[in-house]
Amino acid sequence: DIGKLKNQEGENLMVYDPGYMQTVCCTSRISYIDGDKGILEYRGYPIEELAEKSSFLEVAFLLINGELPTKMQFEKWEHKILHHTYLHTDISRMMKNFHYDAHPMGVLVSTMSAMSTFQPEQNPALLPGMDPYKDTLLMNKQIYRIMGRIITVAAYAYRNRIGRPFNEPAQELNYIENFLYMMDRLNEGNYKSHPKLVKALDVLFILHAEHELNCSTAAMRHLASSEVDVYTCIAGAAAALYGRKHGGANEAVLRMLEEIGSVSNIPSFLEKVKAGKGRLMGFGHRVYKNYDPRAIIVRKIADDVFSVCGKEPLIDIAMELEKIALTDKYFIDRKLYPNVDFYTGVIYKSMGFPTDMFPVLFTIPRVAGWLAHWKEFHADPENKIVRPRQNYIGKRTRDYIPTDKRQ
């Protein structure tokens, strides 16, 4: 127990660990990763099996509540979530006021944060003497609201971007169909989207739903530890996801493939990467040092989507890039393999999503993982406010110099 070890001066022993490479900061029962063997399990179920047999909403229930739902539990879960997809009209109005070229992730982060001002009942500061984390009904209501509204916020961020009116959620459609309908990405030119695309997006959502203490989930737990309301936690986690080293990577991959432009330019591009001028986006992972099991499933989805929407030409560059990189000493030595987002960009592009929507498509499903961690954090009797220490290397105890004497 490092917390109890002392140095020779009797001070607590501390560990200097930038990036928390060796730090375990909680116990969890939500997901298991073996980075060397390429294993990912949600609540003990292998990701491959969930991707094949389950649905995103069922997986969200599993992550948040710990077990797969019975038929009745699932029906209630789906019903509750779909009936919480509507936004307060003032929130819709607020969203219309973002500049037309605002990045949809910026719009999503700000809107989720603004939601806390519309749903103030969870703010513990307003509830003296009450523990909101013991109120299961209230916590479930928060979960339904966030799970429901995130698809509407995501779709409206896109609609605002293209200057089109917002489509109200349609209760008779399922979760994925609803999202595609509100986006107006129907592909069949009618009310419902093509079942192959609905299925593809559903599986992509399963693969992105949870991944233990990645940057955004760690941020979610960090914020939860201060007991700020759950909407603000979600906004903070989404902000962490937005960066290109994390959820912004799928967008960065596509821009990189476009920049490469043709298969013949790959060798010169890789030379630049190896010389330290930029990274091969969609490659590398903090935990997976063999392969990312999600990337294998994603690659298979591409063909299904192409069979409906047409082949996205950038796939040829992506495949050749992977082939060359996997035989290159630089990437082999550093154990760099395609991660989940190497191929998602080309799939989303083929489905007609604009590039800046890609991180939003990652955020929607990851909300389930964040909520699972939020709930687990607050149920953990050992939880503490997250407060790491630093190694101060700056100047000490200096005399203040008046402005007119400074040089």
Q: Does 283 bind ligand ACO (CB under 6 A)?
A: yes
Q: Does 339 bind ligand ACO (CB under 6 A)?
A: yes
Q: Which among 10-18, 46-54, 102-110, 279-287 is the span making contact with ligand ACO, rule CB under 6 A?
A: 279-287
In DSSP notation, 253-312 reads HHHHHHHH-SGGGHHHHHHHHHTTSS--TTB--SS-SS--HHHHHHHHHHHHHHHHH---
Count Cβ atoms below 10 Å from residue 304 Cβ, excluding itself: 15
Beta bridge mates, 42: 31, 45
Q: Which of 23, 131, 334, 388 binds ligand ACO (CB under 6 A)?
A: 334
CA-based torsion, 260, 264, 265, 271: positive or negative? positive
Binding map of ligand ACO across residues 81-100, x = CB under 6 A, - = no contact? --------------------
Q: Are 113 and 95 in contact (CB under 8 A)?
A: no
Tell me the per-residue interface mask from 242 to 261 with ligand ACO, x by CB under 6 A, - otherwise.
Answer: ---xx--x------------
Residue 273 binds ligand ACO (CB under 6 A): yes
Distance set, CA 192 to CA 167, 205, 206 (Å):
14, 19, 21
Local structure of 6: helix, strand or coil: strand
Residues 6 or more apart from 142 whose CB is under 8 A from it? 119, 122, 230
Among 379, 367, 373, CA closest to 81: 367
Nearest distance in Å: CB 278, ligand ACO: 8
Interface with ligand ACO (CB under 6 A), residue from 151, 336, 351, 360: 336
Is 341 an active-site residue?
A: yes
Contact window for ligand ACO (CB under 6 A) among 22-30, 335-343, 372-380, 384-392: 335-343
Known active-site residue 135? no
How many Å separate Cα 316 from the centre of its chain?
27
Contact residue for ligand ACO among 236, 282, 293, 365 (CB under 6 A): 282
The tokens for 27 are: 């116990």
In the bound state with ligand ACO, the residue whose beta carbon lies nearer, of 96 and 334, is 334
Q: Does 47 bind ligand ACO (CB under 6 A)?
A: no
Q: Cβ closer to ligand ACO: 169 or 293?
A: 293
Q: Does 272 bind ligand ACO (CB under 6 A)?
A: no
Q: Which residues bind ligand ACO (CB under 6 A)?
A: 19, 214, 245-246, 249, 273, 279-286, 334, 336, 339-341
Q: What is the set of active-site residues? A: 285, 341
